[in-house]
Amino acid sequence: MARATARQTDDREASQRAWSHGTFYWNELLTRDPERAKKFYGATLGWTFEPFPMADGGTYWIANAGDQMAGGIFVMTDPEFAGVPEGWMSYIAVDDVDARVGKAIDAGATLMRPLFDVPGVGRIAILTEPGGAGTGWMTPAPAAV
């Protein structure tokens, strides 16, 4: 487990150095049944999964395609997710999420929840753009020096 966590950290830091504004950065499956999802994507794509502990005591699953991180699985257990359909959420890297969210709201987007920080990952906004599509925007955390 320690080796897997170190590799996850190394991979995350490498990806943080490589991001550029306006590009897709991360993809995450929101599901209520992570075991079903892991079975499906493991059988069909050959993905393997590593647990990543969350601050609330839950588990986030990192999906790996070979030795590369392919995405994540977020388990929707909180009441705030009642009525939210299962699906993939894409996150776009932005240079300053706070400033960009202001521009997005001025352009007709709706902030679905307050901006939040995930230590070691970045600052995140979940928006609904004017056409109704949900999107995540994030300013990735700087890589550890």
Write down the domain spans for the chain. Answer: 2-140
User: Which is it for the CA torsion 59, 63, 66, 69, positive or negative?
Assistant: negative
Domain 2-140 CATH superfamily: 2,3-Dihydroxybiphenyl 1,2-Dioxygenase, domain 1 (3.10.180.10)
In whole angstroms, what is the distance from residue 2 CA to residue 49 CA?
Answer: 15
Which of 34-38, 79-83, 138-142 shows the lowest per-residue confidence on average (mean pLDDT)? 79-83
pTM: 0.78
Confidence check: pLDDT of 12 > 60: no
Dump pLDDT digits (tens) for 76-94.
988 888 888 999 999 999 9
Structural contact between residues 10 and 55, judged by C-beta atoms closer than 8 angstroms = no
The Cβ of residue 32 has, within 10 Å, a number of other Cβ atoms equal to 12
